[in-house]
Amino acid sequence: VSVFTTLGIIGLFTNILVIKIVYRNSKLKNTPSFLILHLAIADILSSGQPIVIGFALMYLAPLNWPHQSIMMICRLAFYWWLVGYSLSAAMLTLISIERYRAIIQPIKLRLAGRRLNYIILSLWIACFIISLPITLLADVDPIYYFDCQVEVDLYPTFADIYFTIITVAVYFLPLVIISICYTCIIRKFRRDTK
């Protein structure tokens, strides 16, 4: 737990630093910086999970907190981690799309203003919704409180379907989109340098 908690604290502070730099620097008030700001917020949500679980399991469980309280902390920590993880993947995908549009299709309407805000709001809402089922699967061992994990045995069919959807939506789909965007960008740079 302590290694993950340490990494979570480092991630928390570095992303707070990124937010502070983007927020205070007037030269960074543009679309890429706005997307990086949201990426940093998403990373804070992901970084917070090991901190919360580390705190709950190391300090609250030995105080004989009720099992339900520890379980709720565990579920919320996994929920916010998955929101942050899926939002990070979505922001990285959106950054690659924005770069693709800026380089490959510079004449097209840029992602900015209300349009960008609606896209980001939609991504936040989608990530909140797609992460909700993890709260049904996260659990704490009733005997050994220090074991906060996702229990796929509780609902095996549901867990299989859910994790397949999460894997496709949060890993494979962003990977494919990002790969296509950057492949097109690299090809354009190679053509332009010949």
2-193: what CATH class?
mainly alpha
The confidence score (pLDDT) of residue 173 equals 97
Q: Among residues 5, 3, 2, 1, which one has the least CA distance to residue 147?
A: 1
The confidence score (pLDDT) of residue 132 equals 93
Q: Is residue 46 within 8 Å of residue 88, measured between CB atoms?
A: yes
The confidence score (pLDDT) of residue 143 equals 63
The confidence score (pLDDT) of residue 61 equals 61
- Report in angstroms the alpha-carbon separations of 1 from 49, 70, 73, 185: 11, 16, 15, 41
pLDDT in tens, the chain (194 residues): 567 778 888 888 999 999 898 888 877 678 888 899 899 999 988 887 777 776 766 666 666 666 677 778 778 888 888 999 999 999 999 999 999 998 888 877 777 788 889 999 999 999 999 999 988 888 776 666 566 777 777 778 888 899 999 999 999 999 999 999 999 999 998 888 87
Place of tokens 């990002």: 178
The confidence score (pLDDT) of residue 1 equals 54
First to last CA, the chain: 53
Q: Among residues 19, 24, 62, which one has the least CA distance to residue 42?
A: 19
Domain map (residue ranges) of the chain: 2-193
The confidence score (pLDDT) of residue 174 equals 96
- Residue 16 CB partners (closer than 8 Å, separation 6+): 40, 44
DSSP secondary structure letter of residue 59: I
| Secondary structure (DSSP) of 150-167 | E-TTSSHHHHHHHHHHHI
Give the three-state DSSP class for 100.
helix
